[in-house]
Amino acid sequence: MDAIIMAGGMGKRLGKDEKPLTLLCGKPLIHYVLDALLGSKNIGQIYVATSPRVEKTIMWLSDFINRHDRVRIMQTPGKGFVNDMILAVENAKTRGQVFIIMADLPLVNPELIDRIIEKYGKVNTPALSVHMKLEVFTKLGLRPDTVFHKNSSFIVPCGINILDVGKIQEEQEDYNLILEDEELALNVNKKDDLEACERYLKKQLK
């Protein structure tokens, strides 16, 4: 399964220039996501969807892909997440299913990615979206931007989806995979999120 990293956004709420290059413990956010995808046994080609707003990220990626032949840069116009995602999928000319992930999920790891893909293979829907239980965010002291109510509980989208490429222009029936892995709750939108990621990484190193 090929993957697309959505990396065309700015870091205004972070007080940064370009979000994908925001440093977490000295390493750009997007580097963490790339490493996780490259380490997955189920991911093939990796496409990074950029926009005209992230020129420095494109320069950084240009150097990165010289060392990793499985990674490509995809240019999108930056006219909205859904529009850019569809264009990236179509331009990549990937087939079957595609793994979509945001560039601001630095704590994702290969094992999590493989577990999500393997779960997708067991469901009967064209699409799968990954959500977290709200309690995980509460435990970490985080306030998510978006919360849904499902089966008498509250869940939060994580920024990871698997989609059927052949139906990319359609609204796809979606399986909600609800996980409790703290790594997926720590997506970086605000300064507080970045600080929470730093605390988590430093705790893991002890």
Domains of the chain by range and CATH?
A: 2-205 (3.90.550.10)
Q: Quick one: which of 123, 188, 194, 191 has its CA closest to 161? A: 123
Q: Are 24 and 200 in contact (CB under 8 A)?
A: no
- Provide the 8-state DSSP code for 73: E
What is the reported pLDDT for 13?
A: 67
pLDDT (tens digit, 9 = 90+) per residue, 151-184? 778 998 999 999 999 999 999 999 999 998 888 8
What is the reported pLDDT for 16?
A: 66
The terminus-to-terminus CA distance of the chain in angstroms comes to 35
Quote the tokens at residue 47.
Answer: 């496409």
What is the reported pLDDT for 88?
A: 94
What does the mean pLDDT of the chain come to?
A: 90
Query: What is the percent of the chain where pLDDT is above 70?
Result: 97
pLDDT (tens digit, 9 = 90+) per residue, 24-66? 999 999 999 999 999 999 999 999 999 998 999 999 999 999 9
Range in 72-76, 120-124, 149-153 with the lowest mean pLDDT: 149-153
- C-beta contacts of 64-68 below 8 A and 24+ residues apart: 64/31, 64/34, 68/34, 68/38
Q: Quick one: which of 6, 22, 7, 13 has its CA closest to 197? A: 22
CA–CA gap between residue 125 and residue 104 (Å, rounded): 26
Quote the tokens at residue 165.
Answer: 């490429």
pTM across the whole model: 0.92
